Amino acid sequence: MSARDLSTGFLPIVLVVALLALVPLFVTSNTILNFLVFTLIIALAAQGWNLLAGYGGQFSFGHAAFFGTGAYAAAILQVNLGVNAYVAFLVGIGLGALVGFVIGYLSFRSGLKGSYFALVTLAFAEVLRILANSAGFTGGAAGILIPLDVSAWNFQFESRGAYYWVALALVAAVLVLNRAIERARFGAQLVAVRENEAAARALGVDALSVKLKAIALSGAITAAAGGLYAQYFLYLDALIAYGPWISIEALLAPIVGGLGTVFGPLVGALALHGLSEASKLFVGEIPGIDLVIFGAVLILVVAFAPDGVMGVIGRVRRRLGGVSAKTSPASAAAPAPAPAPTREETPA
Amino acid sequence: MTILRVENVTKRFGGLVAVDDASLSVTPGSITGLIGPNGAGKTTLFTVISGFAAPTTGRVLFEERDITRVEAHERARMGIARTFQIVQPFATLSVVENIAVGAFLRHAARADALEEARRVAAEVGLTPMLDQPAKALTVAGRKRLELARALATGPRLLLLDEVLAGLNPSEIRDMIPVIRAIRARGVTILIVEHVMQAVMSLCDDIYVLAQGKLIAQGPPARIARDPHVVEAYLGHGAAQRLQAKAGQIGEAAHAERA
Ligand SMILES: Nc1ncnc2c1ncn2[C@@H]1O[C@H](COP(=O)(O)OP(=O)(O)O)[C@@H](O)[C@H]1O
Ligand SMILES: [Mg+2]
């Protein structure tokens, strides 16, 4: 295996995932496992965002639209229609892809780009939030509760370790998918569209179709995160499912971790939430402290490491002895720090 | 037989007529030149031929098929490739990855696309820069990259928009045989160029555009002598200078062959 394969191949994914899979064997603290499950769910949502924005250059401020769709589909199908939890989860993923396709079709076909596209996605998420908050079948403002009924058949587990492994398996699957996309024609075309859409079209790239595929896939992945969130916390309301907090989480993690890199979302989510948990140990529970930290980290990253943690790691490795550079450091400009959202306490 | 036919194409931008009822045809296997002063409408005509803008009126036919309404990426698939006068590299990608995007059009597997990209890079002299980021290239390198990417799509018709602009004389001398070699393996070329020596020595046939209108067509020697063209294109007194240049190039070309 050449040095290049080491930084662009599947081996690092296998190693990282294997290492993370061992964690529940050594960590028994529910608080820590809870933190890790939540962080993996964020990482999964962020992986969806990263595919569209990091690789495809289409910055969304509204990934809550997908997260919420996956979450509500899981809850509503089980509670109102008695559908099996796994089926509901899969349907949620499909609906996430569909919502992605619809948003993509409406905005990309009319040529929306940059901040216009970002604002349209934000608007979609907000409309869905308002609808979910007022509709009857979503439980309205009171929210929706999935009855506790622990059994593997119901996608409910006794131990947090089991949830951890499920979340890790989903994150791992997307890591592999991402790497495969990087090496496929689709990945090359997606990055080409990000870098220069006119040039890509001149080279035979159907930019609209590439962007639609990317947003559908992105929506499916982030919807999976929403579905998993519903299974884990067993409670949703409109602000949790479709609220701006998750749109911001989904974009912060890849920006901090490394836009358009396979590991960026996971690394970013772990770094951000690790920092905010650590801060609680030192300064105690101050409401909103995590947002302060997120903001500070974002400013530091944008100012000093615009290619994120993965970019820094790559540079250090090159300096230390020339393992060849990874293929495509994304350099798409990071969006301006979003205003701090009022975020519901994370149910735990 | 023609590979490309432009029929009565007019392109308006608001009140401005950038291309005015232009008709031309390109013979397969030829290098056809399109020249004219700045702002004549050459790039606009390329934009229409490559599908990046629809003509206000008129038709474009590729291999006798009407493609006026075919999308740009479809035209690339059919075999029309273009370069951009203002180079449009995928800045953060390496040279070989840039070219591979073009090669992916006809090679589904990454390994095949990369192999094709390396082959094309060698053809245009980019082999030493394969792993450099595109944004690190010099102007000459970027022009070569434009050419390589277009070539990697496996075109039958190649539209080159001022690929020699901004190059120094020795870089231009290096590029001319590259363009000849592309034609030699069967790719038809329509080239917009300001560098007169290059146009005169490369082209079989030349069209002259001035203020959106085609004012002349013919082989280089005739175009160079056409006083209309020379006056419209270069202003007063240019005819003699140009003929002197054409003479020199002719001798140089002979020397090269010998
Ligand atoms: N997109 C556009 N909108 C408005 N005017 C344009 C546009 N593109 C070109 N033009 C105008 O059309 C004319 C022809 O331009 P162009 O085709 O670039 O000329 P050339 O390539 O021969 O130098 C110029 O006057 C230019 O300003
Ligand atoms: Mg021009």
**pLDDT at residue A152, rounded to an integer:** 92
Residue B242's pLDDT band, with cuts at 50, 70 and 90, is: low
| Helix (H) and strand (E) counts in chain B | 10, 10
Residue A332's pLDDT band, with cuts at 50, 70 and 90, is: very low
**Chain A residue with minimum CA distance to B145:** A199
Angle CA A20–A24–A26, to nearest 5:
100
**pLDDT at residue B110, rounded to an integer:** 95
The closest-lying atom of ligand 1 relative to the alpha carbon of residue B45 is 17
Residues B51-105: tens digit of each pLDDT: 999 999 999 999 999 999 999 999 999 999 999 999 999 999 999 999 999 999 9
The DSSP secondary structure of A112-165, one letter per residue, reads: --HHHHHHHHHHHHHHHHHHHHH-TTTTGGG-EEPPP--BGGGTB-SSHHHHHH
Domain positions in chain A are 10-326
Spell out which residues of chain B touch residue A203, defining contact as CB-CB under 8 Å.
76, 81, 101-102, 105, 149-150, 152-153
Contact of B204 with chain A, judged by CB distance below 8 Å, is answered with no
**pLDDT at residue A331, rounded to an integer:** 38
Q: Which residues of B140-160 are buried (b: 16+ CB within 10 A; e: fewer)?
A: bbbbbbbbbbbbbbbbbbbbb
pLDDT at A340 over 60: no
Amino acid at B28: P
Spell out which residues of chain B touch residue A206, defining contact as CB-CB under 8 Å.
71, 73
The residue with greater pLDDT, B92 or B238, is B92
Residues A102-136: tens digit of each pLDDT: 999 999 999 899 999 999 999 999 999 999 999 88
Q: What tokens does A336 get?
A: 């301006």
Cα Rg, chain A, nearest whole Å: 19
Helix, strand, or coil (residue B26): strand
Q: Is B39 in the pocket of ligand 1 (CB under 6 A)?
A: yes
Residue nearest (by alpha carbon) to ligand 1 atom 25 = B39
ipTM of the complex: 0.89
Q: Which of A253-257, A305-309, B240-244 has the highest mean pLDDT?
A: A253-257
**Chain A residue with minimum CA distance to B107:** A185
Q: Is B38 in the pocket of ligand 1 (CB under 6 A)?
A: yes
Measured CA to CA, the distance from residue A151 to residue B61 in angstroms comes to: 66
CA of B2 to the centre of ligand 1 (A): 27
Spell out which residues of chain A touch residue B104, defining contact as CB-CB under 8 Å.
185, 188-189
Mutate to test the interface with B, among A190, A197, A203, A259 (most CBs of B within 10 A): A203
The closest-lying atom of ligand 1 relative to the alpha carbon of residue B53 is 1
Residue nearest (by alpha carbon) to ligand 1 atom 26 = B39
Residue A335's pLDDT band, with cuts at 50, 70 and 90, is: very low
pLDDT at B169 over 50: yes
CA of B36 to the centre of ligand 2 (A): 9
Measured CA to CA, the distance from residue A190 to residue A261 in angstroms comes to: 13
CATH code: domain A10-326 is: 1.10.3470
The residue with greater pLDDT, A307 or B79, is B79
Residue nearest (by alpha carbon) to ligand 1 atom 9 = B44
Q: Strand pairing of A144-145 and A235-236?
A: antiparallel
Task: Say if residues B62 and B157 touch (Cβ distance below 8 Å).
Answer: yes
Question: Which residues have C-beta under 5 Å from ligand 2, the single-atom ion?
Answer: B 43, 85
Q: What tokens does B195 get?
A: 């560098």
Residue A183's pLDDT band, with cuts at 50, 70 and 90, is: very high
> Quick count: other Cβ atoms within 10 Å of Cβ A244?
22
Please state, for a pLDDT cut of 70, what percent of chain A lies above it: 90
**pLDDT at residue A346, rounded to an integer:** 39
Length of chain A: 348
Task: Say if residues A298 and A255 touch (Cβ distance below 8 Å).
Answer: yes
Whole-number mean pLDDT of chain A?
A: 89
Residue A342's pLDDT band, with cuts at 50, 70 and 90, is: very low
Residue nearest (by alpha carbon) to ligand 1 atom 21 = B43
Measured CA to CA, the distance from residue A240 to residue A252 in angstroms comes to: 17
Helix, strand, or coil (residue A83): coil
Q: Do A203 and B93 touch (CB under 8 A)?
A: no
Q: Is B41 in the pocket of ligand 1 (CB under 6 A)?
A: yes
Residue B94 is classified by DSSP as: B
Please state, for a pLDDT cut of 90, what percent of chain B lies above it: 82
Mutate to test the interface with A, among B92, B98, B147, B163 (most CBs of A within 10 A): B92
Residue nearest (by alpha carbon) to ligand 1 atom 1 = B13
Spell out which residues of chain B touch residue A328, defining contact as CB-CB under 8 Å.
92-93, 97
- Sheet of B205-210: strand order equals B80-82, B157-161, B188-192, B31-35, B205-210, B213-218
pLDDT at B237 over 50: yes
